Structure 1
């Protein structure tokens, strides 16, 4: 699958919209997508990441929030696959700069929406 120009969605990102979207779609989206989104969201708040990477993260999270993307989110099962692909792509680009504390914070937050069996799926985030 070819990735869309997710950077054109940077203006769609806001913290409130992100929290609302994740809360609303968490169960349907699955633990991998939510974990990837939370890692990027918490990394964006870090002062340990450079401006270029923050811009890429904002584009990816804006793409996630936007109802207008390559595969509309309302389509059952496949509607969020493009969102996950964008998040994983960006995670791979910035992974070496992501603080382990951010990963743990994201994992802890997953417990708000998922049980332990579902959370165990995040161990295979890049698969």
Structure 2
């Protein structure tokens, strides 16, 4: 599991994440969850293993090739959404209310569930 996490974490950098958000953010319906992962990962209180898992999840989403290529309309993002959901479940108690509040602040006109 460590090898898989490290593999996908290699594809994450803050710059790549921002570029990804700018290019595909409006197409990704789970963008608030991605940002929640990002804020949790930036928190000093989040353990290193959890940070690695979150980096791996973000790296997987950013990666242009994955199990179901993103170019397939409707189905291409399903595997990415599943990885994001699993990462949030793993992070669990480390996702703080302030992480969620930052995301809600970014999406003031939308009902955001994270």
TM-score by length of 2: 0.88
Corresponding residue number in structure 1 for 2:101: 104
Aligned-residue offset at 1:77: 1.6
Mark the CA change 1:24 to 1:43 in structure 2 (over 3 Å): closer, same or farther.
same
Aligned-residue offset at 1:107: 2.0
Residue in structure 2 matching 1:41, options 30, 38, 42: 38
Give the total of aligned pairs: 111
Unaligned 5+ runs, structure 1: none
- The separation in 1 between residues aligned to 2:4 and 2:35, in whole angstroms, is 17
Aligned-residue offset at 1:6: 5.7
Aligned-residue offset at 1:10: 1.1
1:1-127 matches, cutoff 5 A:
7=5, 8-30=7-29, 33-111=30-108, 116=109, 119-120=110-111, 122-123=112-113
Unaligned 5+ runs, structure 2: none
Superposition misfits of 4+ residues, deviation over 4 angstroms: none
